């Protein structure tokens, strides 16, 4: 932490917009204008390991002036890509390059929705609109901010597989074979609450997730516990050209009809270094999901 009169600043790293397993983390600034009484956190839009590293032993004062921060950095070039579970290798191209951070740009929130312009551009949102998808929920609060959520049998199917919504065990392996109820939502049990509390206690980073799809049903899911940015494949190509942060990606294949039966489908999913394939059958009780295979690396 460095002080500049009443202005105090801390530079730190966080995985909110950068997947931990991608061996990068975002640079953030915690800023106080009242000698540490209150703090606000701001994303710089920069990620460690993406052609540069901020130096922990920078010899320059962190405050350049009241509107700018500065830090020395190593400019690096990747010599070996990452091979799971190993991180990539880099070599230093330029030592002690000076990076200057403009606070007015970092804290700018043009639409006053609680997300800075840098965050909104990083998430493919509109920094000039409080509500990118026009569903009445501000982008900062909307857990699916790019598409207005709706509800039908197929959105409920995806919500059951992704979030475990309205699911009930249908076999000896409760996490592999289950039914997703469509007519009557399943009552939340003490077991469900305990599972959620245990998940929260693990202390895993609260990261933003990414789904790339043209499926209109998958685009309109209603997340309950974390924010998901949904892009079309074309938008994702543009995203990769513009931004260096690596959001944690969840992948879901299209639903393929099985054996010419209109009520039976095959689907696969993956996330980071795990995945599964499913047989999905529409029944009177709802969607019956059977896990055909699963993997982890």
> Cα dist. 3→32, 40, 41, 59, 156 in Å?
9, 15, 16, 15, 51
Instruction: Please say if the pLDDT value at position 6 is more than 60.
Output: yes
Q: For 28-58, write each residue's pLDDT tens digit.
A: 999 999 999 999 999 999 988 778 899 989 9
Instruction: Please say if the pLDDT value at position 129 is more than 90.
Output: yes
Instruction: Please say if the pLDDT value at position 12 is more than 90.
Output: yes
Instruction: Please say if the pLDDT value at position 291 is more than 60.
Output: yes
pTM > 0.85: yes or no = yes
> Cα dist. 144→32, 125, 136, 247 in Å?
30, 11, 12, 15
| Cβ neighbours for 153, distance < 8 A, ≥ 6 positions apart | 182, 282, 287
Instruction: Please say if the pLDDT value at position 22 is more than 70.
Output: no
- Using 50, 70 and 90 to split pLDDT, how confident is the model at 122? very high
Averaged pLDDT, 223-238: 95
Q: What is the pLDDT of residue 200?
A: 46
- Using 50, 70 and 90 to split pLDDT, how confident is the model at 189? low
What CA–CA distance (Å, rounded) separates 59 from 74? 13
> Cα dist. 139→52, 108, 132, 159, 245 in Å?
30, 15, 7, 20, 19
Instruction: Please say if the pLDDT value at position 187 is more than 60.
Output: no
Mean pLDDT of the chain: 88
Q: What is the pLDDT of residue 178?
A: 92
| Segment of 100-104, 172-176, 192-196, 257-261 carrying the highest mean pLDDT | 100-104
Instruction: Please say if the pLDDT value at position 197 is more than 50.
Output: no
> Of all residues in the chain, what percent carry a pLDDT higher than 90?
66
- Using 50, 70 and 90 to split pLDDT, how confident is the model at 149? very high
Q: What is the pLDDT of residue 184?
A: 65
What CA–CA distance (Å, rounded) separates 69 from 50? 20
Q: For 47-86, write each residue's pLDDT tens digit.
A: 887 788 999 899 999 999 999 999 999 999 888 877 777 7
250-255: Cβ within 8 A, 24+ apart: 250/162, 250/209, 250/210, 250/211, 251/211, 251/212, 251/275, 252/158, 252/161, 252/162, 252/211, 252/213, 252/215, 252/218, 254/215, 255/154, 255/280
Work out the burial of residue 189: count CB atoms within 10 Å of its CB; fewer than 13 is exposed, 13-18 middle, 19 or more buried: exposed
| Cβ neighbours for 294, distance < 8 A, ≥ 6 positions apart | 176, 274, 275, 276, 277
Q: What is the pLDDT of residue 41?
A: 97
Q: What is the pLDDT of residue 220?
A: 98
Residues 145-174 as b/e (b if ≥16 CB within 10 A, e otherwise) read bbbbbeeeebbbbbbbbbbbbbbeebeeee
Q: What is the pLDDT of residue 233?
A: 96
């Amino acid at each position: 932490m460095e002080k500049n009169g009443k202005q105090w600043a801390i530079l730190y790293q966080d995985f909110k917009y950068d997947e931990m397993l991608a061996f990068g983390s975002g640079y953030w600034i915690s800023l106080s204008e009242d000698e540490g009484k209150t703090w606000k956190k701001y994303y710089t839009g920069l990620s460690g390991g993406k052609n540069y590293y901020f130096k922990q032993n920078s010899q320059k004062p962190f405050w350049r002036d009241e509107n700018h921060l500065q830090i020395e950095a190593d400019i690096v070039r990747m010599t070996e890509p990452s091979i799971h579970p190993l991180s990539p290798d880099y070599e230093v191209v330029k030592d002690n390059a000076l990076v200057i951070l403009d606070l007015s740009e970092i804290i700018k929130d043009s639409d006053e929705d609680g997300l800075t312009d840098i965050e909104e551009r990083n998430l493919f949102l509109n920094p000039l609109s409080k509500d990118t998808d026009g569903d009445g929920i501000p982008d900062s609060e909307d857990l699916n901010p790019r598409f207005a959520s709706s509800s039908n049998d197929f959105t409920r199917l995806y919500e059951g597989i992704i979030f475990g919504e309205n699911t009930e065990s249908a076999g000896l392996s409760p996490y592999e074979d289950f039914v997703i109820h469509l007519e009557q939502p399943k009552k939340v049990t003490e077991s469900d609450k305990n599972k959620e509390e245990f998940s929260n206690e693990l202390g895993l980073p609260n990261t933003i997730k990414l789904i790339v799809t043209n499926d209109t049903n998958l685009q309109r899911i209603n997340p309950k516990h974390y924010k998901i940015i949904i892009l079309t494949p074309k938008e994702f190509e543009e995203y990769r050209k513009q931004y260096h942060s690596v959001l944690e990606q969840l992948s879901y294949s299209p639903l393929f009809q099985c054996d010419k039966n209109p009520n039976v489908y095959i689907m696969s999913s993956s996330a980071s270094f795990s995945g599964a394939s499913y047989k999905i059958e529409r029944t009177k009780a709802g969607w019956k999901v059977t896990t055909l295979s699963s993997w982890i690396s």
